[in-house]
Amino acid sequence: MATKVKEIVDAAAPTNGSPLISNDKLKQLYATMIKCRTLEERARVLFKQSKFTGNYYAAVGQEAAAVGTAIDLRVEDTIGPSHRDFITGFIKGAPLDKMFCHLFARENSPDKGRSSPAHFGYAPLNVITPASTIAAQLNIATGVALANKMKKNDNIAVAYSGDGSTSLGFWHEALNFAGVHDLPIVFVCQNNLWAESVNLQFQTKVPDISVKAAAYGFPGITVDGNDVVAVYRVAQEAIARARRGQGPTLIECKTYRWYGHSEIDPAKYRDPEEVERWKAKDPIAGMERYLMGKGLFSAEWKQGIVDGFNKELDAAIEIAEQSALPQGVEALDHVYSFSIRERVLEPKVYEPEY
């Protein structure tokens, strides 16, 4: 059931019916990846400058997996990110100023400064707020998929996780339930070989995580997670399948994170030669070579993208830096259906209605 996609096929439309990818879409895939990397490298610098506290979990090196699966989702579609999927919110269309206000834990961030910095959610675009509990977002996204099926619409959910999550009960519960009920959801496992400091060989015996989908009764496919065109093709088929009411798909994107588990992790447990081998497979550099072969790339065009996006980042960061921090008492708001502040600071006597 698992299929490996090892290279980009640029020929006639394949027999499975996937259309050719337009030149404009190819350029959009590349431009979005370079923006994602620019965003994350800026976030890493800001963390080192103590502009925000907590931690940051960069997905540098994994951009193709996120961009290829999320770039064409509708506003009505839902994504369930993990702590390492900050860029999926940007790909979905979240405003940069809201994203940086979240990192900086400001009062006007979507979460009112409550869950900075690794849990960005954005309700207007159906971006679920990640949970600290690994893989918990899968169950929430599965619940959304169930709701979509009950409403008889063609909206879907895409749930992201790492290879480490596949060893947890949450992962099994979500995929099993989705399979039993043929839910409109795509599970994306970004297999970067490391669950924090635990290598994949200590997580599972099978070489391809995608084969596990067979136990839940739906297709699994393993794809080169550093090949954005291959990921995009596979994702488009899985998304279309979900919209048609044919149930879930598990996509395993084999990729690699360049840095440690987080910005406070030196990643000394990894072989430096392993890191360099994967950096040589940089998804952005690979896409540049592909676009060059089609006459769609120039250094000037790339520089224009980076320069323009850096200006957008500068503006968003300035807004975040000038925004107010939440007051301590505000932590009592937005918790229950009525204000805790009202109950604790301005107590009233509540009489039973019977």
| Catalytic (active-site) positions | 257, 261, 269
Tokens 């550093």 belong to which residue? 226
Return the half-sphere exposure (C-beta side, CA atoms, 13 A cut-off) of residue 2. Answer: 19
Helix (H, G, I), strand (E, B) or coil at 114: coil
Q: Classify strands 220-224 and 4-5 as parallel, antiparallel or unpaired.
A: parallel
Return the sign of the alpha-carbon dihedral for residues 85, 89, 92, 97: negative
DSSP assignment, residue 332? G
The C-alpha atoms of residue 240 and residue 125 are separated, in whole angstroms, by 20
Q: Which runs of consecutive H residues, i.e. helices, occur in the chain?
A: 23-48, 63-70, 86-92, 96-103, 136-151, 169-180, 228-243, 272-279, 283-293, 299-322, 340-344
**Residue-by-residue DSSP string for 193-246:** SEETTEEGGGT-SSS-GGGGGGGGTS-EEEEETT-HHHHHHHHHHHHHHHHTT-
How many Cβ atoms from other residues are within 10 Å of residue 95's Cβ? 16
Q: Which residues pair with 187 in a beta bridge?
A: 159, 250
Of 76, 86, 244, 73, whose CA–CA distance to 147 is shortest? 76
